[in-house]
Amino acid sequence: MEQLLELYQTMGVSPAVYAFGQAALDRLKDRFAAIDQVAEYNQAKVLWAMQKNKVSAACFAATTGYGYDDLGRDNLERVYADVFHTEAALVRPQITCGTHALTVALSANLLPGDELLSPVGLPYDTLQEVIGIRESTCSLAEYGVSYRQVDLLEGGGFDYEGIKKAINEKTKLITIQRSKGYATRPTFSVSQIGELIAFCKSVKPDVLVMVDNCYGEFVETMEPSDVGADMTVGSLIKNPGGGLAPIGGYICGTKKCVDRCAYRLSAPGLGQEVGANLGLMPALYQGFFLAPTVVAAAEKGAIFAANLYEPLGFPCIPNAAESRHDIIQAVELGSEEGMIAFCKGIQAAAPVDSFATPWPSDMPGYEDRVIMAAGAFVQGSSIELSADGPIRPPYAVYFQGGLTWPHAKLGILLSLQKMVDAGLVRL
């Protein structure tokens, strides 16, 4: 301990901040143990899928060109399908990000004249242009797909009456976003999502349901695909890439839906048969293998942050005691100075670019200035320790990731240290 304290002091963490952190940690033993249990189950789930599909060194070979008969790629898709308990999976480096994966899933399964319904309010920012809620070139709206939305009730619950009314003969696909993203509503648990899916299918049995699973993978022992989702979709530079995947997205679901996604991603007639792996298979396999414990580390970081900041008077969403269904933590710091100090601490703790100073700046597509802290091995990766937020009341930073728990812990301690140094917090 002496040794650790000394090194932490060299790195800028004072004994007072360290002690404050340890006191918070003492209260979290049971919750961390529960997270470890989920991780143990999910680790076994991933391992079993890899064993069952006989993953071998041959799966790690690079392919180029068309990528016909790509053993590694095809087997990785079987591993994902087994973990998500689905008939099929599309897992590709050619899917460039989460938004792309969601776009493929939507545009492959919606035809002109069909209607898309979101029963959980406004979807994630980037999807608004995909759907055409904000006018955009090549949006689904341009292709004659209409959109309807039912907002959540005041308390955050599902408006079942409204949803029943909104489902009509044109409703083809229902999109459910699991994580709150940058909204203030709660994140849904997998079992809540299951109830919503069951209700929608009781109103219209043949309606398709897609779940945006970004930031939710491996936080629970079940995934949306276990509770009736036809497609479960996410990004490999978030949870399931385990920090090692340098790019990619996934769609797990019914064979019928995933086949259509593959034809949309490549070309009608080609589908899943093409798409070279470009040597990325070791990272995609190993990242998926690490993902359950990486997600556990990130979740511990989120809970630690809430339990450090809430007692100091900063509102946290979710709050310090709430159960978790994704890895995002919002902390309302109440001032621009607070956001800057917090982000400086996260940046200073990074393995990459620790010497950089985050500062609010204008960003394309945002009305307010935005501040971002990230010192990541993979550019833009948000399973790595990162924090960001728009400079506007209530001056909330959204904090997520951390490939290891000790790194997440140090980042949060340093954020608090910068707050103390700036005179914004007194311990």
Contact residues for ligand PLP, defined by CB under 6 A: 97-99, 124, 126, 177, 179, 181, 212, 214-215, 235
Tokens of 427: 């311990």
Tokens for 417, please give them: 């240290």
Helices 336-348/405-421 angle, 10° precision: 140
Residue among 63 and 187 whose Cβ is closer to ligand PLP:
187
Residue nearest to ligand PLP (CB): 98
Of the two residues 75 and 99, which places its CB atom closer to ligand PLP in the complex? 99
**Strand pairing class (370-374; 386-390):** antiparallel
Question: Nearest distance from residue 258's CB to ligand PLP, in Å?
Answer: 19
CB of 212: closest distance to ligand PLP in angstroms?
A: 5
Using the minimum distance from each CB to ligand PLP, give the nearer residue, 98 or 240: 98
Length reported for the chain: 427
E strands present in 156-264: 171-177, 208-212, 231-235, 249-253
Range list of β-strands (E), 164-267: 171-177, 208-212, 231-235, 249-253
Smallest distance, Å, CB 176 to ligand PLP? 11
Q: How far is the CB of 187 from ligand PLP (least distance, A)?
A: 9
Q: Residue 266: left if φ>0, alpha if ψ -120 to 50, beta else—which one?
A: alpha
Place of tokens 């249990």: 37
Cβ closest to ligand PLP, residue 97 vs residue 340: 97
Helix, strand, or coil (residue 175) = strand
CA–CA gap between residue 47 and residue 24 (Å, rounded): 34
Q: Which two tokens stand for residue 241?
A: 């890439």
Separation in Å, CA 33 to CA 36, 38, 39, 41: 5, 9, 10, 13
Least distance in Å: CB of 290 to ligand PLP? 19
Tell me the closest approach of the beta carbon of residue 47 to ligand PLP, in angstroms: 27
Q: Decide whether 41 or 182 has the Cβ nearer to ligand PLP.
A: 182
Q: Which is nearer to ligand PLP, 177 or 232 (CB)?
A: 177
